[in-house]
Amino acid sequence: MKLQLALDVCTIEEGLNLVESVREYIDIIEIGTPLIIEYGLQPVKLFKERFPDKLILADAKIMDAGEHEANLCFSKGADIVTVLGVAHDSTIRGVIKAAQKHGKQVLVDMIDAHDIQQRAQVIDQLGADYLCVHTAFDIQFSGANPLEELRLIHEVVSEGKSAVAGGVKVATVADIVKEHPAIIVVGGGITGQADPVSAARRIKEIMEGK
């Protein structure tokens, strides 16, 4: 089970400093969509150079031109690239093709996917490495959480691994750990805390059963 730190709303320098402070607790560094929109793919390259021992995920949320856009991310040093589960199958196949060419991985973000079990089965057969259930930031205020969707995809996915994102924090991570996803994604549950290092340490401890 890997802990992924999502860097979304920060400068590159702030992100680098934060990762340096919590690096012993995290396994994957996510260059979040807002960071990519603001800085392009430069952070992917910079973080990979600074932290070569960590996996770098480019949260490109690809929706079209799958192979081309994924190739751009992988060429900058991304180890994992995201594509939306609501994208056309051909787009997802293109991202997977690019990943295979580079010897890297694909995470399919199932955000707002309808009939999530049926869609997950299709994507699983396409060959995605990870399927991520994701409670959108814009609806987290409603109290929604990704736990139930995680359980649903675990019932049908047999080839890929699961990931979970959206509002995960110290207070909620224990229930998620019980479902044994391969990746737990935490953003504000670490980056938005008064003491990010303590939050990252505690989440990792819970993941390790401590």
* DSSP per-residue letters across 45-105: HHHHHH-TTSEEEEEEEE-SSHHHHHHHHHHTT-SEEEEETTS-HHHHHHHHHHHHHHT-E
- State what percent of residues in the chain have pLDDT above 70: 95
Query: Is residue 155 very low, low, confident or very high in pLDDT (cuts 50, 70, 90)?
Result: very high
Select from 80, 40, 31, 64 the least CA-distant residue to 183: 80
Whole-angstrom distance, CA of residue 181 vs CA of residue 133: 10
Range of the domain at 189: 2-207
Number of domains in the chain: 1
Query: Is residue 176 very low, low, confident or very high in pLDDT (cuts 50, 70, 90)?
Result: very high
- The yes-or-no verdict on residue 169 having pLDDT over 80 is yes
Query: Is residue 134 very low, low, confident or very high in pLDDT (cuts 50, 70, 90)?
Result: confident
pTM above 0.85, yes or no: yes
CATH number of the structural domain spanning residue 164: 3.20.20.70
Read off φ and ψ for residue 181, nearest 5 degrees: -70, 155
Give 118: exposed, middle or buried? Use CB within 10 Å, 0-12, 13-18, 19+: exposed
